[in-house]
Each structure stands twice: as C-alpha cells, then as structure tokens.
A and B are shown apart, each in its own frame.
Chain A
C-alpha cells in the first residue's frame, strides 16, 4: 500500500518538472536554456508569468531548447539548477531574488556555463543580474492612485515582507505623497515566508481590512496572493455611473484585463523583456555577466494604459504622470530606493 502511495506521489510530482517543449534535448547545436521559477509558479498571472512569456517569446524567435522547473518548495530550487548545469545547459535562469544564493552556489561550480538571476545581484562573472527600478514605476502608479482616491487613504498589499517589496511600497507612497502630501498609505504584508506569494485568501483579507479602514485604491504586489485584492475590490461593486467604488493596481504583468473596470492600472515590470534579452545575448554569444538595470528610461518599468482602463484615468492625470516620468529619467525627481536606504 505504502509502495503504491509513494508511486502515486512520484507520478504526480513528475509533471511539475515537465519539459516545456518536446523537442529533442540532446541537440547540442542549439542553445539550451533552463529556467527555474519562483514558488508562485509560472501561472501566477504576474511576476513568474512575465518571465515565462519572455522565454517563450525567445524560444519562438531563436532556435533554442527550453526547459522549465517549478519548484514545489525552496529546497528543490538548487537541485533543479544543478540538474540543468550537469546536463550542460548554456543558460540557466533563476526567477526571483530568493534564488540568488542557490544560483551563486551552482554558478561557482560551473564557471563555464552562463546564469541569470531576476531581481537578484551577484558579483560572479558568469551570472547576469537582471534588476529593475520598481520604485520608479511604483512612484508613477502611486501618483495615479492619489489622483483617483477620494478618501485620501490608499492600501498596499505586499507579498513577502522583504526589502525588494519595500521598494514597491516606498515608491508608491512617495508618488502618492507627491500628489497629495496628506494622503495616508496603509501597508500590509501577507507573510514572512515564501507561502506569502500563494495565499489569495489572506491577500483578500488584508485588502478588505484596508477598505474597511477607508482605502479606495489598493496596490497589490503579492503574486498570487494579490489576486485576493482583486476579489476584494470587486466585492464593493460599481456606482450608478458604472465606475468602481474601489480600485486595485496590478503588478509585474499587465493585469488590467483580469477584472475590467476595477483595475486602475498595473505597475508593469518587463521581466519578459529582460529575460528575452538575456536569452538573445546568449544565443548571439555576447558576454552576459554583470548587472542589467531596467527602469523607466529603457521601458523595463512602466504603467499600463490599455482598452480596459483608459476610461478610468483622466487625461490630465496621464499628462502629470508622463511629466513625472520624464523628470525621474532626467534625475529631477529622485525616488528613494528602499534597498539602498
């Protein structure tokens, strides 16, 4: 019986490591790319989803062999990377700041292979660090939030309570305060472990609590948990003119399509572009080590305006935000980076 159970367990875990394409893995003429996702998993509709989109676009444009792993828990991250490295993968991508120590450990053992870490910084010559100026994008959506809010209270739902997410929070707050110095931001974090990325029920509870305290725009930077904030704002419905009573701001991927009318905008972090570019660099045999910074100036960070939310943000607001964007790029506005404070 126990044998059978463990067999079932093994069978059911296998698909988690299912290869992305079924092309032959041993075609050594092609560049092999392995990607290891964060705990949120590649269909978190947010951060990991963006990375997944990026590598897939690269797989369409270049003749690469792509394999992915979604670790079920943090302890399986390093073995997954090592498995790629042992099979001689040319580029191994780790998604998420939490994988920095693991990728460094593996990269030291395989100095001839190339690695890339999203959101992390490594000094190793064979590791590319893909980092983003999230604080700048958060500043812009903070401005939009403050210009939309009627109550003068904003909410922020962060996933895991780590410095990286503090960058979002602080930028958001600074942007909001630039519009309305009296505005109040209520920050909440889902948790302090990686489970914090995957708990939409807790995310909703946090958002509801903020709404009950008067918040009418909530910025959710919490992966899957952030989806709970989407549910929370939807619960408060729309007014007579069909305008939502409460708004949510999406993160990383453009999430305006998810609950049209309720999603004010998204702080878009182009993880897809960053990942695509690093695969491209590898395919074209350019050196890829060092820090690659994505910000407003190179469209690595931005905010979303599309058919789902263009009626929610008035034109003067867009103009104000665009003006601020230019000032941030030229350095006239300095947004505090919580990780460098």
Chain B
C-alpha cells in the first residue's frame, strides 16, 4: 500500500491531468460563449501533429508549439465559421472535425514522411516535457480572472447565457463567440502538443486516445468553471495514476477492474456529490441578430 501512496503518484497525476486540463480550459472558453465544442479531440490531434512535424523540421519545440497553436486556431476557425456564421448544428460540426483530424495527419504524414500517420522521433533535447504543464496550471487563475473580473469575461458569459441581452447591451455576440472558439483551439492544441512533443517524442495516429472527450467530461463535471474544472481534471488524473500504480502491485486482480476505477469514480462523484451540472443557458443555440 505504501507503494501506491508514494510521491511519484503526485507527479504522475499532474502529467496525466495536464493535457486534460488544457483541453478542458479551451472547451470552457468556447462553451461559456455558447458554442458546444465536441471537437476538442480533433483540436488536440491538430496541435499534436503540427507541433511534432514543425519541431522535427525546425529543431525547436517552441516554434513547434507555436505552429501547433496556429493549427488549433485554424481548425477551430472552421468550427467557428460553421457554427457562428452558418448556424450549423454544433455537435455535428464538432464530430466532423474530429473525423477530419483522424484523416488529415495520415494524409500529410504520407506526403511528408511516407508514413501513414506517424512522424519521425524527435531527439530528446528538442522536447518540452514540463512547460505545457506549467502553462496549464498557470492558466487556471488567469482564466478565472478574465472570466469573472474583466469586461471581456462578462461579455463571454453573457453571450453564453443570454445572447439577446448581450446584444441589446451593444456586445457583438458573434465576435465574442469567435474569440471563445478560437481560444479553445489554441488551448486544446497546447494539450495536444504536450502529448507529442512533451510526454512522448513523436506523433502516432489518433494518439489522443479519447483524451479530448475525457476533457469534455471534466468540463461538465467542473460545471464550466475554471477551478472546479481543474479539480475534475486532477481527480481524473489521480484516478488514472492510481490505477497505473496499482496494476503491478496487487496481484491476481484483472486489469479491467483497475482500469475502470477512473470511470467508476467519475460516476460516483457525478451522481453523489456535485448535484446537477447546469450548462450555459444558450449553449448550442445559434444566435441570430434581430
């Protein structure tokens, strides 16, 4: 048991939670502005792939990270234009982006490296194993402050809660929503970059392995609030880290039982402790200026 409750579990928790937190904070900005962002998974993949490719060519992970952010913003812009300009169904568009991002890395890596979806390995000196984690946790107070203490934050929340009122007050709901969605692309892309040029050393096909959706769950679990969302990500991270620690220690317990711990924990907490999660009122509703 002592082996389970060691110090290493703390670091492990943070490492597992970091990509979730970045994506969830991104989702928070998008969804608080009223646009459902189910595309987090795809945005993470965009960031992961682009930053690995650019780091490979440029030999500098920071340039790679910036390029990754750029790609996340670009893909998020597709989502934003579809949802805000053309009033598309936000869930459908988000899903389309997720599917799109399964294909695009395969296509591009074929052209660049003659592989189907993976990049060459990046030397260890060109990785940034810790910076994204620092960025992620530093962003929590920043986003909290912006959301609750600045005019922009007020407008963002208004666009998601009551766009009509925001519009009447002279706020451009479309501009606010664009900002929210584009920022979500940037943050989710950092989360993706953490996977490819932070924790591992290459991009492999679909390497996010569902983390974008877990981030979405953490966002809902955290009731669309930055601090609670961070706690939710840490809880998921801890559950996974604990599951990893326990796998080797307790003999004769099937892996499935240990690996369901994070999910069972989520359900128990969701059902038992947090009460109803209330989404931003105008979430998923296109706003038409009258």
Binding site for B on A (CB under 8 A): 1-2, 5-6, 8-9, 11-13, 15-16, 18, 41-44, 70, 72, 161, 186-189, 191-192, 195, 198-206, 208-210, 212-213, 224, 227-228, 231, 234-235, 258
Given known pairs A1-B86, A186-B248, A205-B244, the reply for A199 and B207 (CB within 8 Å) is yes
Residues of chain A with a CB closer than 8 A to B266's CB: none
Interface string of B82-116 (1 = CB under 8 A from A): 10001010001100110110111011001000011
Chain B min CB distance to A12 (Å): 3
9 new A-B contacts, CB < 8 A, other than A9-B99, A205-B244, A212-B8, are A5-B93, A13-B102, A16-B116, A43-B118, A200-B199, A201-B200, A201-B209, A206-B247, A210-B248
Q: Binding site of A, secondary structure by majority: helix, strand, loop or mixed?
A: helix
A237's nearest neighbour on chain B, judged by CB, is B124
Binding site for A on B (CB under 8 A): 3, 6, 8, 12, 15-16, 19, 78, 81-82, 86, 88, 92-93, 96-97, 99-100, 102-104, 106-107, 110, 115-118, 121, 124, 195, 199-202, 204-207, 209-210, 241, 244-245, 247-248, 254-256, 259
Residues of chain A with a CB closer than 8 A to B97's CB: 5
Residues of chain B with a CB closer than 8 A to A186's CB: 248
- CB-CB nearest 7 A-B residue pairs: A12-B103, A186-B248, A200-B200, A43-B115, A212-B8, A199-B209, A161-B255
B96 A192 Cβ-Cβ under 8 A: no
B12 A224 Cβ-Cβ under 8 A: no
B207 A201 Cβ-Cβ under 8 A: yes
Residues of chain A with a CB closer than 8 A to B248's CB: 186-188, 209-210, 213
Chain A min CB distance to B262 (Å): 12
A201 B103 Cβ-Cβ under 8 A: no
Chain A min CB distance to B38 (Å): 14
Given known pairs A1-B86, A18-B110, the reply for A227 and B200 (CB within 8 Å) is yes
Chain B min CB distance to A221 (Å): 14
Residues of chain A with a CB closer than 8 A to B255's CB: 161, 189, 192
Residues of chain B with a CB closer than 8 A to A188's CB: 244, 247-248
Given known pairs A5-B82, A198-B206, A200-B207, the reply for A192 and B92 (CB within 8 Å) is no
Q: Could you give 28 example pairs across A and B, Cβ below 8 Å? A: A1-B81, A1-B88, A5-B93, A6-B96, A8-B100, A15-B110, A16-B103, A16-B116, A18-B110, A41-B117, A41-B204, A43-B117, A188-B244, A188-B248, A189-B247, A192-B259, A199-B209, A200-B202, A201-B207, A204-B200, A205-B244, A208-B8, A209-B8, A209-B248, A213-B248, A231-B200, A231-B201, A235-B124
Give the CA-CA distance A41 to B110 in the complex, in Å: 13
B210 A195 Cβ-Cβ under 8 A: yes
Give the CA-CA distance A16 to B102 in the complex, in Å: 10
Q: Binding site of B, secondary structure by majority: helix, strand, loop or mixed?
A: helix
B93 A200 Cβ-Cβ under 8 A: no
Give the CA-CA distance A206 to B121 in the complex, in Å: 19
B209 A202 Cβ-Cβ under 8 A: yes
Residues of chain A with a CB closer than 8 A to B93's CB: 2, 5
Residues of chain A with a CB closer than 8 A to B244's CB: 188, 205-206, 209
Given known pairs A186-B248, A191-B259, A198-B207, the reply for A9 and B100 (CB within 8 Å) is yes
Give the CA-CA distance A204 to B16 in the complex, in Å: 11
Residues of chain A with a CB closer than 8 A to B256's CB: 161, 192
- Which of A2, A15, A70: most chain B CB closer than 10 A? A15
Partner of A1, one of B6, B82, B116, B199: B82
Give the CA-CA distance A44 to B121 in the complex, in Å: 12
A258 B200 Cβ-Cβ under 8 A: no
A228 B200 Cβ-Cβ under 8 A: yes
Give the CA-CA distance A5 to B89 in the complex, in Å: 13
A201 B96 Cβ-Cβ under 8 A: no
Residues of chain A with a CB closer than 8 A to B102's CB: 13, 72
A42 B116 Cβ-Cβ under 8 A: yes
